[in-house]
A and B are shown apart, each in its own frame.
Chain A
Amino acid sequence: MMSEPRRMHPATTIFNFIRLIKDFIIPLLIGSFAFVRNISASSWIWMLAAALIVAGMIAFSFLSWYRFTYRVEEEELRIEYGLLIRKKRYISKNRIQSIDLTAGIIHRLFGLVRVEVQTAGSDNAAEAGLKAVTRNDGEQLRDILKGLKDTTGEPQEGMNQVQSPEHPDVPAEKIKFPRLLFAATTSGGIGVFLSLFALVGSQFNQMVPEGFLKGIYNWAVHLSIMVIIVLVLIICLVLWLMAIAGTFLRYSYFTIYKREDEIFITRGLLEKKQVTIPLKRIQGIRIQENIFRQPFGYAAVYAEVAGGAADKNDDFSIALFPLLKTSEIPGFIGQFLPDFQYEQNWRGLPRRSARRFILRAAAPVLLVAIPLIYFFPMYSWTALIVLAAASALGFLRYKDAGFAVQRNQLYFRNRGLSRETIVTKKNRIQSMSSSEHWFQWRKSLKTSYFSIASHSGLGKRFRVKDMEAAEADELHGWYSFQEK
């Protein structure tokens, strides 16, 4: 019975408590580290203060669990919560876009799931969430809100029974271990860990004694360049191993299946996540071939989804499959996203834009290298190597850039470091532009852009630089409603 107000699982108290610690205590601790160190008070006062704070937090966590109720009534999900100020949130059933069930480590200990309800609103936070309910309740709630069952939990008449991904008629795809291993070893997720390092580093100064850093610095200055290179390599290796672990955590047991007009994805080693994507929310498909995978002919496929269903680590796009052979992609898309086709005849850029691509890649390197060479002439060979690499990258970018038009579909291809291909449809493009400046005009080149909807009304823009002006105009005409 879902029409009665009910509470979440009592274990929610734990989650509330953890949340409190994460939101307030840790930043507070880090922030006040330098400050606290300089105050001398007896240790028992500190102990007492800490105990009081913890007790208060536990009470707060418990009460916020106690005061939170949810029910399904009159075709609405009704949530009431709030300790002192009571808040009510009613979400109409047919406004709900997707319902995701996630289970973290602690959830799995208790057999619980987190329910996230997303509506078409532009808010990128989940519109409503139940932090922890039993898996059974979670699935029942999902089925009721999707209109598969009525509020007593009985299957709705005339509705198709929920089909499992094992059902032979359901298109489904599971990741196999060798694939996962390959995906992990070639993942470009190093950047994420680098930023983590930077974050730790920013608080690092306050945590170590002053003399220590100076000592390290003096030591490092006296090292030879070879030792520094070895150190850098070791750090890279560690980061790489962390990226591998990250991919395993994220994409283990990755399964995608399609039911009617929705795609379901479940994944995760420790945290089990289930994501639902309604097909009509998909604005485009992005195929990413990073530099480690491209030589082997592998790519990752993402969906650009409008609205809330955001998976923050993926730049607000959702991985449809972490690793596919490029030759498998057309079949995959045909199976899961029948609205899209993936067959195209690429049109590249004219020869004369190659120079502009190389210049663009090499110029920043030159800018940094010239003063460095001036001051450290003995290392000019490294600068030359980097310069050559940058120019080569520029040339690759030129080689890979291109576009294709196929009836109402538009393809853009581009390279930053990874080669990215985006496929979208005319009625998904929110606006289209082309631009030129004097240097482009002189060689009759143009840059072409289009924007598709993404999260919180922001949109994503894709572009191809320096294409033949006439072709950019042709794209403009393809998009326009006016007679030419």
Chain B
Amino acid sequence: MRQPPKNFIAKDAVKVWKISALIPITVFWLVLIGLTFMAGRFSVPLWTVLIGWAVMATATYLSVFLIPAIKWRRWRYEVFEQEIDVQHGIFIVQRTLVPMIRVQHVDTKQGPILKHFKLATVTVSTAATTHEIPALLEEEASELRDRISRLARVDEDDV
């Protein structure tokens, strides 16, 4: 297999993923703390509580600290004249080719967290699939969108 795609996505992507992982995790922590108080009142054995805390601690470490970092390191993309080459995945690393002649439309989108870091996501759609290049710098994203859209404007032979 040829070399992995050259370009990385914005370094701030890690922060974005951390924040979006923190939201559900915080809710779970609150629930767990609530349950711990309840456990004290209803004399639930201590070890069940401890297991709960251990599980939550591991989950927090994985989803907030470990996974965003790995995810960023894996995420690569490269846009050639005739195709887009994307690589991503945490445990399963996936490499995808999207030919320009199959691209139907390109979008950029931006949620509140991405906006805060001045980032945007580029979405490439074909007749069958949708591919994302997440968290690029805003200018970079719109430039990429325009470039793909220009390159995709080749005559379609069929479907």
Asked if A482 and B80 make an inter-chain contact with CB atoms under 8 angstroms apart, the answer reads yes
Are B159 and A281 in contact, with the CB atoms below 8 A?
yes
Nearest-CB distance from A355 to chain B (Å)?
Answer: 19
A431, B93: Cβ atoms under 8 Å? Answer: no
Would you call B158 an interface residue if the criterion is a C-beta within 8 Å of the partner chain's C-beta atoms?
Answer: yes
Task: Given A431-B98, A432-B96, A451-B129, check contact A482 B1 (CB 8 Å).
Answer: no
List B contacts of A480 (CB < 8 A). Answer: 83, 97
Bitwise, B82-104 to A at CB < 8 A (1) or not (0) is 11010001011111111101100
Shortest Cβ distance from residue B100 to the other chain A in the assembled complex, whole angstroms: 8
B23: CB under 8 A from chain A? no
CA distance A427 to B127 in the complex (A): 12
Question: With A453-B127, A458-B128, A459-B127 given, is the CB distance from A433 to B102 under 8 Å?
Answer: no
Give the CA-CA distance A477 to B93 in the complex, in Å. Answer: 18
Within the complex, the shortest CB–CB distance from B122 to chain A, in Å, comes to 15
**In the complex, what residue of chain B is closest to A451 when comparing beta carbons?**
B128
Q: In the bound complex, how far is the Cα of B158 from the Cα of A430, in angstroms? A: 11
* A431 lies within 8 A of B159 (CB): no
Taking the complex as formed, is B131 at the interface, i.e. its CB lies under 8 A from any CB of chain A?
yes
Contacts of B155 in A (CB 8 A): none
* Interface pair B158/A438, CB less than 8 Å apart: no
Output the least CB separation between A54 and chain B (Å). Answer: 46
Q: Are B159 and A437 in contact (CB under 8 A)?
A: no
Q: Does A7 contact B (CB under 8 A)?
A: no
Q: Which residues of A contact B60 (CB under 8 A)?
A: none
Is A72 in contact with chain B by the CB < 8 A criterion?
A: no
Q: Is the pair B129, A430 in contact by a Cβ cutoff of 8 Å?
A: yes
CB under 8 Å from chain A, chain B span 68-127: 80, 82-83, 85, 89, 91-99, 101-102, 125-127
A426-465, CB < 8 A from B: 427-438, 451-454, 457-461
Asked, given contacts A482-B82, A484-B2, whether A431 binds B95 with beta carbons under 8 Å apart, the answer is: no
Where chain A touches its partner, the secondary structure class is mixed
B92 contacts which of A435, A469, A477 (Cβ < 8 Å)?
A435
A376 at the B interface (CB under 8 A): no
* Residues of A contacting B125 in the complex (Cβ-Cβ under 8 angstroms): 457
Which of B1, B80, B82, B158 contacts A427 (CB under 8 A)?
B158
When distances are taken between beta carbons in the complex, the residues of chain B under 8 Å from A436 are 92-93
- CA of A306 to CA of B127 in the docked complex: distance in angstroms? 9
Picked from B93, B94, B102, B157, the residue with its CB within 8 Å of the CB of A430 is B102
A283 CA to B102 CA in the complex, in Å?
13
Q: Are B82 and A437 in contact (CB under 8 A)?
A: no
Task: Give min CB distance, B102 to chain A, whole Å.
Answer: 5
Is there contact, CB below 8 Å, between B94 and A433? yes
Q: Which residues of A contact B1 (CB under 8 A)?
A: 434, 469, 473, 476
Q: Is the beta-carbon distance between A434 and B158 smaller than 8 angstroms?
A: no
Q: A280-B158, A481-B83 are in contact. Are A433 and B128 (CB under 8 A)?
A: no
Give the residues in chain A near B129, CB-CB below 8 Å: 430-431, 451, 459, 461
A416 to chain B, nearest CB (A): 20
B92 and A437 contact, CB distance less than 8 A: yes
Interface 1/0 per residue, A283-312 and B, CB below 8 Å: 100000000000000000000001000000
- Are the C-beta atoms of A437 and B91 separated by less than 8 Å? yes
A144 CA to B8 CA in the complex, in Å?
A: 56
Most chain A Cβ neighbours within 10 Å, of B83, B93, B128 = B128
What's the least CB distance linking A170 to chain B, in Å? Answer: 24
Q: Do A431 and B157 touch (CB < 8 A)?
A: no
Most interface-central of A281, A431, A457 (chain B CB within 10 A):
A431
B92 — which chain A residues lie within 8 A by C-beta? 435-437
Interface flag for A17 (CB, 8 Å): no
A431 touches B94 (CB 8 A): no
Kindly identify which residue among B89, B96, B128, B131 contacts A460, using a CB–CB cutoff of 8 Å: B128
A479, CB-defined interface residue at 8 Å: yes
**Docked CA distance A428–B157 (Å):** 10
B121-146 vs A, CB cutoff 8 Å, 1 = contact: the mask equals: 00001111101000000000000000
Assembly CA distance A479 to B2 (angstroms)? 13
Q: Mark A260-288, 1 if CB is under 8 A from B, else 0.
A: 00000000000000000000110100000
**B83 contacts across to A, CB distance below 8 A:** 480-482
User: Chain B contacts of A461 at CB under 8 A?
Assistant: 128-129
Rounded to whole Å, the gap between the CB of A323 and the closest CB of chain B is: 29
Partner pick for A452 among B80, B82, B128, CB 8 A cutoff: B128
Q: Which of B97, B128, B157 contacts A454 (CB 8 A)?
A: B128
Q: Are the C-beta atoms of A430 and B126 separated by less than 8 Å? A: yes
Q: Are A481 and B128 in contact (CB under 8 A)?
A: no
- What is the bound-complex CA distance between A484 and B2, given in angstroms? 7
Which of B82, B96, B127 lies in contact with A433, CB distance below 8 A? B96
What are the residues of chain B within 8 A of A434 when measuring CB–CB?
Answer: 1, 94-95
By a CB distance below 8 angstroms, the chain A residues around B85 are 482
| Docked-complex contact B95 and A481, CB < 8 angstroms | no
With the chains together, A457 CA to B128 CA distance in Å?
5
Q: Pick 9 A–B contacts, CB within 8 A, sort by A.
A: A430-B128, A430-B129, A432-B96, A435-B95, A436-B93, A473-B1, A479-B99, A481-B80, A481-B99
Q: List 8 A-B pairs, minimum CB-CB distance, nearest first.
A: A459-B128, A453-B127, A481-B82, A430-B128, A435-B94, A430-B126, A433-B96, A473-B1
9 extra interface residue pairs, beta carbon distance < 8 Å, beyond A453-B128, A459-B127, A482-B80: A280-B159, A429-B102, A430-B127, A431-B102, A432-B96, A434-B95, A453-B126, A457-B127, A482-B82
